[in-house]
Structure 1
Amino acid sequence: VWDLSGFVDLILAQTTVGSVVKIEDDEDEGLFALLTALNLGRYKDNKCITEIRDYLLKVCEEKNVVGELKRLLEDQADHVGLVVSQRVMNLPPQLLPHLYNALFDEISWVTEDEPTKDLRESFRFKHYLLVTRIYKKIGQKRKGSSSSNGEDFIYVKPEDELFFELKNYRLMGLVMAVEADKAPTFREKLQSLIEDS
């Protein structure tokens, strides 16, 4: 049983960094999106973070990257931000660059302006860890990453499942570790991707 309540409590207690998109005056039903980053080292003793760490290490099928993942989740956890991102299917994708811009701006501001040294230091990330869903084509041999023609894996928003059947694909998880100093490039590429679609 996952400690989802504890995970939600960590997110809610972190008021310095993170954004929520909701309908004004709708206390219960108006949440449309959430984006934040939790320091894995700061919360390493919380049951929910321990469960996430143990689960990711257990299900990692790429034996050649388990050591690197373990290093990020344990040895370097003080400098790793777990990106927590959730949105409803009807949220316009044009809002995504603004949400990520706000997240990275808030992290930058905290590391410069936060009077509490411990809090300021806890947001000096060297890596961001993102966990997402992908679909892998059934019957293909396992590869370290998707091929250049994009046939090995496809990324699908949850709502896309309603519009086409994925008979030839199976649901998988993907964990990505992104160096924090690549955030400006990520922001540019996300903006470009949304503008081109």
Structure 2
Amino acid sequence: MAGHNAKRKAAASLEQGDEDEDSPSSSESSDGFGSESEKEKDPEDDDIVNIDFEFFDPAEIDFHGLKSLLRTFLDGEDFSCSELVDTIIKQSTVGTTVKTSEEDDPIGVITALNIQRYHNLSCLREVCQFLLKQCQEEQLKAKLQEVWDQAGTGLIVSERLINCPPQLASPLQHALFDEEIPWAIEDEPSEELRNSYEFERFLFISRVYQDTMGPPQSGGHGKKQKGGTQPPTMVYARPEDEFYHRHSTWSFSFPVTSRPVQKDELQPLRLVMLLTPDQAATARKELYRVVGNAALGQEAAGAS
């Protein structure tokens, strides 16, 4: 990556069409891209626009936009959101925001926070308490508490507007895991900071959907329930989560109850997953192979 301190890290011109009204994205309240700018439109096809997306370091200018994006991180429960946003902004070397221009509000963010480094923060204690309260299996609850207390656990904070194009998935994962974290391990100014990015495991908190007629999955990995019946199908709002879930050490999910779900809607869930760095890397390779990764193509072009 060239010029990390002046990081306009990537840009993508993507075509975005109309969403199916019955898709999960239409069941989640959103203002769409909000700050998107229409560049070109085929007069014969009014359903497609070209949009430029750019990646930036989190910055003070993003405070209110990030707070709006993360205010439902605990599904409507009050928590120290401003503190979480401040932490993301101060840790600018590892973290990415997605915008349509430098002045616009972020429509997405991804970062990795070392839980032990920030264990005194109210926002992280509140996240832990929220997850422990929602976890219904005592064995999984014990595992969650164990990894939360261990050194080397990274909390992945990843949110973006529900109708962001899926093509953003690969470059965002690539920026965080394949560029920023290795850069920080090698180049942060102090040994303490460098060591704080030597993650031994990653804890993901994601948004998924499920048929309202079936019970929420717990334990994950598509295991059959008692009686030989298959659990309800999980619908992944973001492409990367399907691959991370497939390779996770353990996972559990719980319903989002902050808003009513209509009869014909899918039930929104939170999915919590634990992965080792090797498992996450394998999941990303599959993601890049299936979805593609424009960032890798740009690197190859630059090297030739």
- TM-score category of the 2 structures, normalised to the smaller one: 0.7 to 0.9
Q: Residue 62 in 1 paired to residue 137 in 2?
A: yes
Residue in structure 2 matched with residue 98 of structure 1 by the alignment: 171
Q: Where do residues 125-140 of structure 1 align in structure 2 (5 Å cutoff)?
A: 125-137=199-211, 138-140=213-215
Q: CA deviation at 1:140?
A: 4.6
Distance between the aligned counterparts of 1:95 and 1:142, measured in 2? 27
Distance between the aligned counterparts of 2:111 and 2:276, measured in 1? 17
Q: Which amino acid aligns with 2:174?
A: N
Residue in structure 1 matched with residue 158 of structure 2 by the alignment: 85
- Where structure 2 has 5 or more consecutive residues not aligned to the other structure, the ranges are 1-77, 239-261, 293-304
Q: CA deviation at 1:141?
A: 8.4
Q: CA deviation at 1:171?
A: 3.1
Residue in structure 2 matched with residue 155 of structure 1 by the alignment: 235
Distance between the aligned counterparts of 2:115 and 2:218, measured in 1? 28
Of structures 1 and 2, the larger Rg is shown by: 2
Query: Cα RMSD (Å) of the superposition?
Result: 2.5
Moved more, 169-178 or 56-65: 169-178
Q: Residue 117 in 1 paired to residue 191 in 2?
A: yes
- TM-score in terms of structure 2 length: 0.55
Q: What's the CA shift string for 1:68-114, capped at 9, x where partnerless?
A: 1110112x1x3111111111234321121111111012101111222
Distance between the aligned counterparts of 2:168 and 2:265, measured in 1? 31
Q: Which amino acid aligns with 1:31?
A: P
Q: CA deviation at 1:155?
A: 2.5
Percent identity over the alignment? 34
- 3, 15, 18: which one aligns with 2:95: 18
Distance between the aligned counterparts of 2:164 and 2:218, measured in 1? 33
Residue in structure 2 matched with residue 35 of structure 1 by the alignment: 110
- TM-score in terms of structure 1 length: 0.82
121 and 3 in structure 1: CA distance in 2 versus 1, 3 angstrom threshold: same
Q: Which amino acid aligns with 2:203?
A: L
Higher helix share: 1
Moved more, 4-13 or 60-69: 60-69
Q: Which amino acid aligns with 2:193?
A: L
Q: CA deviation at 1:150?
A: 6.9
Q: What's the CA shift string for 1:19-42, capped at 9, x where partnerless?
A: 11112243xx43222111111111
Q: Which amino acid aligns with 2:208?
A: I
Distance between the aligned counterparts of 1:139 and 1:95, measured in 2? 31
Residue in structure 2 matched with residue 162 of structure 1 by the alignment: none
Distance between the aligned counterparts of 2:286 and 2:132, measured in 1? 29
42 and 156 in structure 1: CA distance in 2 versus 1, 3 angstrom threshold: same
Q: What's the CA shift string for 1:144-180, capped at 9, x where partnerless?
A: 322479742413429xxxxxx7648533322100101
Instruction: Indicate if the aligned counterparts of 1:44 and 1:50 stay in contact, CA closer than 8 A.
Output: yes
Q: CA deviation at 1:143?
A: 5.3
Higher relative contact order, chain-length normalized (CA < 8 Å, sep 6+): 1
Distance between the aligned counterparts of 2:280 and 2:223, measured in 1? 24
**Structure 1 residue matching 2:107: 3-state secondary structure:** strand
- Give the count of matched residue pairs: 185
Q: Which amino acid aligns with 1:112?
A: E
